[in-house]
Structure 1
Amino acid sequence: MHRGVGVLAVALLLATAGCGSLVEAPDATTREPFAVEETVRDGPQSGPEVVPGLTWRAVTDAEALAESHRSVVAGESRVLRREHVVRTDDGSVRARAVGVLRVGEDGQVVYTFRSSGANLGVFGLRATNYSVWTNGSVTVVRVQRATGVAYEVLDGRRRLPADSTGAERVRVLFERATVQNVTTRYWNGDTYYRVEATVAPGDISGFADPDLYRLSANVVNSGAVARLTFRYPFVRGDERFLREQDWSVGAVGSTVVERPDWVATALDGAANRSRPR
């Protein structure tokens, strides 16, 4: 398929299709784009809500929008991906952190976090690589260190991101957003809405101009925000950087989570340590 008007990001579609079921989205663990045939139409100047909390020209209720998103995603299997990138003025990547949360229908959850770059702590990023698996009753953590791999076995569901649906991020950003434009976009017979907005800077960084804080989102008819990207400049020392924060959710209702092989290694090691000597 040739490249159309635009190229959609992975994990774009959460749109409903008959009987309230969700259209299966591509794998959200990668941001590699795929080419699609897409058309764009400007939204009307006025009219009813696009989805709860969002009209064609304004965010009327960020809490309602976040709750709409949560109601679609929560309780379903899914892949939630969060990427945080710091770039220099010339576009070079100085630091990157990626977290991927996979939630299965059977209660199994796997979370992986990877970071790379120099002086990650200076940019507010964790300088660590780790994975977490849980089935709800036990949690196993695998941490990659310079000296090797370490495991930790814990009771219950632990060490997972607090915002497992992305709804809190939707609320926090949209309650400070000023909508600039909403366009209707069509992809393979489905409709979604592209929202472009500025965000009130608050105390995010030292720049007061809200036009420097850019928010874009893909919102689908079901009321979910399939992708959310937030960009803004900041300064460290004498250098100016661009921070890009990207959240996406996909494979809703179709994600299958299998227990990683390293979980058995960790559980065996914990059992051996607990045996009397």
Structure 2
Amino acid sequence: MPSTRSLVPVALALLVLLAGCTMPTGGPSPTDTPTASEPTDGEPTPSQSPTATDAPERASPPGVTESELENATALLTAHADALRETGYRLDVIRGATQTTYVAESDYDAYRVVLGPTATNPAVWANESVAVARETQDNETVYHRPPRLWPNPARMTGSEALRTLFEASEYTVNGTAACGDRTCTVLRAEGSSRFENFSARALVHDSGVIHQFHASYAADGEAREFHLVLADRGNVSVSRPPWVDTALAET
């Protein structure tokens, strides 16, 4: 009689072989395992998640929501702080009068440069002294104003911008290029304070206002205001020739 002990290994081998042959052909195998590009059960996979190459959502400037200017004070504070940190050159035009403000970082040196029709004093300052030149009764007069004069609110345009921002409601109107950057566009039409009011601003997400243009009427007189950021960062303030005379006479 054949030994039953010798049949056990053979029987086990047959069971294993038959089990492999009867596996359903549609079942998962090591090569059928879902990969990162094959989502299962509707759940997102790593390939569906945002990657470093996806364009991030743009942040809104301080004080600006997705739809409107909500807090002009927050925006103007960010604008003034950012310009002070880097230094800048800013042109402010009221009608036919242009004033250019040039400042190094933290106002270590600055200038107020007047256009041909401007009547405000021209100013130059370094870290220790400020001198001003103006015309009074057709005579050139020099004096020494406070070290930081006019104040940053005037030099960054924030003083005038506050009045114009508070005069109307500004809504977000898409984006536009401002130099090599992208800015949020703010638009306003109509005002309870001024007649025929229309304004447009280009604002970077840092809060820096690169451009602002407004036209309106006040007391029956047509007016315009323009602010243009001409340069920011690596700004050097030159010393005008009249400074030596101003220092000697004051």
Q: Matched residue of 2:80: which SS?
A: helix
Q: Any conservation in 1 of the 2:110–2:126 contact (CA below 8 Å)?
A: yes
Q: How far is the alpha carbon of 1:200 from its aligned partner?
A: 2.9
Q: Which residue of 2 aligns with 1:264?
A: 244
Amino acid paired to 2:82: V
* Structure 2 partner of 1:109: 110
Say which of 170, 188, 201 aligns to 1:217.
201
Confirm or deny: 8 A CA contact 1:133 1:141 kept in the other structure.
yes
Partner in structure 2 of residue 100 of structure 1: 100
Deviation at 1:193, TM superposition (A): 2.2
Note closer, same or farther for the CA distance 1:82–1:188 as it changes in structure 2 (3 Å cut): closer
Contact 1:138 1:157 in 2 (8 A): no
One-letter identity of the residue aligned with 1:108: A
Alignment of structure 1 residues 16-165 onto 2, 5 Å? 50-85=60-95, 96-105=96-105, 107-114=108-115, 116=117, 128=119, 130-144=121-135, 147-154=138-145, 156-159=147-150, 162-165=153-156
Identity over aligned residues, as a percent?
24
Amino acid at match of 2:103: V
Once residues 159 and 186 of structure 1 are traced to their aligned partners in structure 2, the CA distance between those partners, rounded to angstroms, is: 31
Q: Report if aligned partners of 2:103, 2:110 keep a CA contact under 8 Å in 1.
A: yes
CA distance in 2, matches of 1:266, 1:157: 17
* TM-score, normalised via structure 2 length: 0.64
Residue 182 of structure 1, aligned match among 173, 176, 179: 173
Residue 54 of structure 1 and its aligned partner are, at CA, apart by 1.5
Change (3 A) 1:134 1:199: farther
For 2:179 and 2:149, how far apart are their aligned partners in 1?
A: 40
Paired residues of 2:176 and 2:202 also in contact (CA < 8 A)? no
What residue is the counterpart of 2:234 in the other structure?
254
- Give the Cα–Cα distance (whole angstroms) in 2 for the partners of residues 192 and 158 of structure 1: 30
Indicate if the aligned counterparts of 1:114 and 1:129 stay in contact, CA closer than 8 A.
no
**Alignment TM-score, normalising by the size of structure 1:** 0.59
Aligned to 2:8: none
Equivalent-residue separation in structure 2 for 1:147 and 1:173 (angstroms): 34
- Structure with greater strand percent: 1
Q: Tell me how far 1:159 sits from its aligned partner.
A: 4.8
Measured against aligned partners, the alpha-carbon deviations of 1:69-114 in whole angstroms (never above 9, x if no partner) come to 23322232111221111xxxxxxxxxx2211111123711111233
Structure 1: distance between partners of 2:145 and 2:199:
38
SS at match of 1:75: helix
Counterparts of 2:146 and 2:206 in 1: how far apart (Å)?
36
Q: CA 1:201–1:153 in structure 2 vs 1: closer, same or farther (change >3 Å)?
A: same
Q: Deviations over 1:41-77 (max 9, x none)?
A: xxxxxx9963222134222222222223233222321
Name the counterpart of 1:36: none
Find the aligned partners of 1:143 and 1:221 in 2 and give their Cα distance.
Answer: 38
Tell me the residue number matched to 1:194: 185
Further displaced range: 165-174 or 59-68: 165-174
Aligned to 1:244: 224
How big is each residue's C-alpha offset from its partner over 1:14-59, in whole Å with a ceiling of 9 and x where there is no partner?
xxxxxxxxxxxxxxxxxxxxxxxxxxxxxxxxx9963222134222
Higher relative contact order (CA 8 A, sep 6+): 1
Instruction: Point out the more displaced range, 254-263 or 68-77.
Output: 68-77
- Structure 1 segments, 4+ long, off by >6 Å, are none
- 1:12 — aligned with what? none
| Alignment check: 8 A CA contact 1:181 1:195 kept | yes
- Post-superposition shift, 1:183? 1.9
